[in-house]
Structures are given as C-alpha cells and as structure tokens.
Amino acid sequence: MVSVEEAIRLVKTNLPNSTYELIYLSSALNKVLSKDLISKINMPPFHQSSMDGYAVNLSADIKSYKLVGEIAAGGSASEFDLKQGEAVRIFTGAKVPKGANAVIQQELVYSKEKTIAFKETVPAGKNIRLKGEQTTIGQIAMNKGDRITPAAIGFLAGLGITEVEVFKKPKLSILATGDELVSPGDLLPEGKIYESNTIMLSSAIKHSGYECVKSSTVEDTYDATKSAIEALLSSSDVILISGGISVGDYDFVGHALKEIGVKEIFYKVKQKPGKPLFFGSYNDKLLFALPGNPAAALSCFYIYVLTALEIMSGKSDGLEITQLKLIEEYSKKGGRAQFLKAKIEGERVRVLEGQSSSMLHTFSGANGLVYVPENTTVLEAGNTVSVYKLP
C-alpha cells in the first residue's frame, strides 16, 4: 500500500511519451500547443484606424483641416500622402495613410463642406493601432504549452494560421464489472442495483474535455473480465475499470490484469475513499482499476486519472489546489488520508455531510475536495486546508 503523495508521484512518473497531431484551427479549442507558433505577418499588418472618423496630419497651430478623400476598411491608402492641414475620412480597420499622425473620432469633429475642426485637443498618435503592436514577423505568437481558447483561435486566425500542432488527447474506455448491475430504466429485481458508474465517469471525462470511445459492463466471471479488458486495449489509450479490484470471491480484475501482462505500478492507496485503487501499464496504455463504490470511483478519477490525462495532453497538472479556511471543525478517524466532499464558500470551505464512499447525493452538491493528510486527526475551525477545486 502506498501513500497518496507516493501514488500521485507514481502516476506522474509512469506516463507514456506525449504524442502530437496537426489539426485544423477550427478543431483546436481547449487543445494545448506542442510547439511555439511563429508569426509570419505583422499584426496589425499596417497602421490601422481604431475609430470611424478622420485621419489628419496634425499640427498644433492649425485649427481646421481640408478633406482630401476617404478610405474605407479594406480600401487602398496608397494615393494619399497627407500634408499639414489635410485630412481624410476614415473608417474602423482602414489603413492610416502616409502623413497622418492621428485619427479623430467623428463625434469630436465639426464638419462644414470640405473642412473639419475639432471640438477638443487631439494628441499625436490618437486612435491609431500601430503596425505590429500585437506581434511582428518572426515573433513567437503563442508558446508551447499554451491552451487554445476561443480568443486564441481568433488571434491565430487573424495571423492567417489555419493549422496548429497540438498534444494529442488520450482516448478512454470504461468497463464496469458486477452481476448485481442493471441498466437504468430496466426493472430492478431484488438484490440488484442500477449501474451508474459508467455514465458518471463518461460524463466526468467529457466535462474534463476528453473522449470516452467505449463504455460497457461485464459479468463477474474471470474469462469475461479478461476478454473485455483485452478488447479495450486495442482501442483505448487509458482504460478505467470500475469494481472487481478488491479481494472478494467475485473480484476477478486483478487476476485478469496479471494474466494479460499488465505491469502493476501500485495497488491500494492509504486513503479514504478509494483504498482499493490499481494503477498499471501495458505497453503505452494506462489502466486504472477504480473502486466500485461511486463516490470513491469519482474521487479517484479526479485525483489520479485526470492528473494523468492533463499531463499527457500537455498541461501542467490536474485539478487546481487552493488553500482555504475551514468553516467547521472536522475529526478524522483512522490512519488513512481522506478526500472530503466539500462546498467552497468564497475564501472558506465547509465539509459536507454524507462522506461514505457510496454516497453521490453529497458529491452532487460539492465543488471541492478537502484533503486531510494521514497524520492529521483534527482540523479545527479556521484552520487552513488544501482543497481540490472540482470542475
């Protein structure tokens, strides 16, 4: 059995090498760049008006300016070389002509026939976006490791970029074991329970920005369990197995993994919930055998599986960890570390009722997990605690 800290370290240090793919920019949302992006143009590519108004050759001793033409957005400015006292009508996004050193917005102008005057003093450089003020040719526009947000997509499209090289996100599959499981919507015979882990975990995967390619259940037999795991190894980068990893008479997952040749990295973590957690690898595939109890399975997903997925996808780590003050005292029994379902309330956090590994009703209202180290027994109100912020 390993500690929580050792389990997290082993996850981080036993990940396969990251892979990359070249994809269209339109499909790159939330992906992470695998190399620096170099700008091939200046942005803006020319001195650009930021207002509808008038581009002028500004001079302190001139009170009115002669209009000599007009430049629309996208139009040419090559025919103009403004002399002192000259101005052109200009629109937002248009190229500022040679000789112009300010743009005065139309609301601040008196206009009469072919001349204009200003309602207030205009400083040089006013309302002009300078050529290359966002980025210049040869400059790094975005860095390796940057996440591609909607704003980033707009920025890169403005640079004329249509494809980007990103870290390839791993694909996941889920396998739930148990003869007691019945699909939601079916009749519920005596002794059976509705199977919820697959839809819960696949939702957590999707919510975290990843793809679940297959989700299935298997009966509690050794042969069926082994065959189901082998089938998933051919189509998935990461396999999540729910249940069957404990030491009961019908828990066949551990034996099947060993027979298949899965390398055990650790089995069992000194934590609550989620003690019977298995982490292993098979060639370049990862396998997490999660506890069958729903709250335990989801906690293990957020703490361990998501950490692996984020690092494999080029991100720095898993859930954000913050330090908050505890609202009410909490006493821990036993020597295991705990992840407590909690509610973050501003700069404070409250531990919720219903911490059993089977209870999801509390988890559904939680937005954080308070971490209690194994050597801590009492957390007093006002103590600062580590909190994993749930997505």
Please check whether residue 56 lies inside any domain of the structure: yes
- Per-residue pLDDT at 193: 76
Q: How confident is the model at residue 190 (pLDDT cuts 50, 70, 90)?
A: confident
Token readout for 69 is 């033409």
Answer yes or no: do 122 and 155 share one domain. no
Answer yes or no: do 155 and 101 share one domain. no
Answer yes or no: do 98 and 35 share one domain. no
Answer yes or no: do 31 and 159 share one domain. yes
10 Å CB burial of residue 28 (0-12, 13-18, 19+) is buried
Average pLDDT over residues 218-224: 87
Answer yes or no: do 254 and 190 share one domain. yes
**Structure confidence by residue, pLDDT tens digits, 236-282:** 999 999 987 766 554 789 899 999 999 999 999 999 999 999 999 99
Q: Which of 257, 207, 199 is nearest to 233 (CA)?
A: 257
CA distances from 109 to 93, 112, 235 (A): 19, 10, 67
Q: How confident is the model at residue 334 (pLDDT cuts 50, 70, 90)?
A: confident
CB-CB contact of 7 with 276 (8 Å): no
Distance of alpha carbon 197 from the chain centroid: 23
What's the CATH code of the domain at 368? 2.40.340.10
What's the CATH code of the domain at 186? 3.40.980.10
Answer yes or no: do 160 and 189 share one domain. no
Please check whether residue 294 lies inside any domain of the structure: yes
The amino acid present at 385, given as its one-letter code, is V
Instruction: For the chain, give the percent of residues with pLDDT over 90.
Output: 81
Please check whether residue 117 lies inside any domain of the structure: yes
pLDDT exceeds cutoff 90 at 183:
no
pLDDT exceeds cutoff 90 at 178:
no
pTM of the model: 0.85
- Per-residue pLDDT at 187: 77
- Per-residue pLDDT at 195: 78
Kindly report which listed range (30-34, 180-184, 373-377) carries the lowest average pLDDT score. 180-184
Answer yes or no: do 264 and 358 share one domain. no
Look at residues 119, 146, 167 and tell me which one is the last residue of a structural domain: 167
Answer yes or no: do 119 and 154 share one domain. no
Look at residues 74, 105, 129 and tell me which one is the last residue of a structural domain: 129
Helix/strand/coil (H, E, C) string of the chain? Answer: CECHHHHHHHHHCCCCCCCEEEEEHHHCCCCEECCCEECCCCECCCCEECCCEEEECCCCCCCEEEEEEEECCCCCCCCCECCCCEEEEECCCCECCECCCEEEEHHHEEEECCEEEECCCCCCCCCEECCCCCECCCCEEECCCCECCHHHHHHHHHCCCCEEEEECCCEEEEEEECCCEECCCCCCCCCCEECCHHHHHHHHHHHCCCEEEEEEEECCCHHHHHHHHHHHHCCCCEEEEECCCCCCCCCCHHHHHHHHCCEEEEECECEECCCCCEEEEECCEEEEEECCCHHHHHHHHHHHHHHHHHHHCCCCCCCCEEEEEECCCEECCCCCEEEEEEEEECCEEEECCCCCCCCCCCHHHCCEEEEECCCCCEECCCCEEEEEECC
Average pLDDT over residues 22-51: 96
10 Å CB burial of residue 315 (0-12, 13-18, 19+) is middle
- Per-residue pLDDT at 220: 82
**Structure confidence by residue, pLDDT tens digits, 203-220:** 999 999 999 999 988 888
Average pLDDT over residues 329-342: 94
Please check whether residue 159 lies inside any domain of the structure: yes
Answer yes or no: do 36 and 66 share one domain. no
**Structure confidence by residue, pLDDT tens digits, 136-166:** 999 999 999 999 999 999 999 999 999 999 9
More confident residue, 182 or 343: 343
- Per-residue pLDDT at 113: 86
- Buried b or exposed e, range 131-169, using 16+ CB within 10 angstroms: bbebbeeeeebbeeebbbeeebbebbeebebeebbbbbb
Average pLDDT over residues 363-389: 96
Please check whether residue 300 lies inside any domain of the structure: yes
Instruction: For the chain, give the percent of residues with pLDDT over 70.
Output: 98
Look at residues 129, 155, 186 and tell me which one is the last residue of a structural domain: 129
10 Å CB burial of residue 237 (0-12, 13-18, 19+) is buried
More confident residue, 178 or 162: 162
- Per-residue pLDDT at 248: 57
CA distances from 275 to 246, 270, 364 (A): 9, 6, 21
Please check whether residue 391 lies inside any domain of the structure: no
Please check whether residue 177 lies inside any domain of the structure: yes
Kindly report which listed range (122-131, 260-269, 350-359, 369-378) carries the lowest average pLDDT score. 350-359
Q: How confident is the model at residue 179 (pLDDT cuts 50, 70, 90)?
A: low
Answer yes or no: do 231 and 287 share one domain. yes
Answer yes or no: do 198 and 279 share one domain. yes
Answer yes or no: do 173 and 142 share one domain. no
Number of domains in the chain: 4
Token readout for 282 is 């098979």
Average pLDDT over residues 165-187: 85
What's the CATH code of the domain at 161? 3.90.105.10
Average pLDDT over residues 40-54: 96
Domain residue limits at 63 = 48-129
- Per-residue pLDDT at 247: 61
CA angle 304, 366, 238 (to 5 degrees): 25
Please check whether residue 302 lies inside any domain of the structure: yes
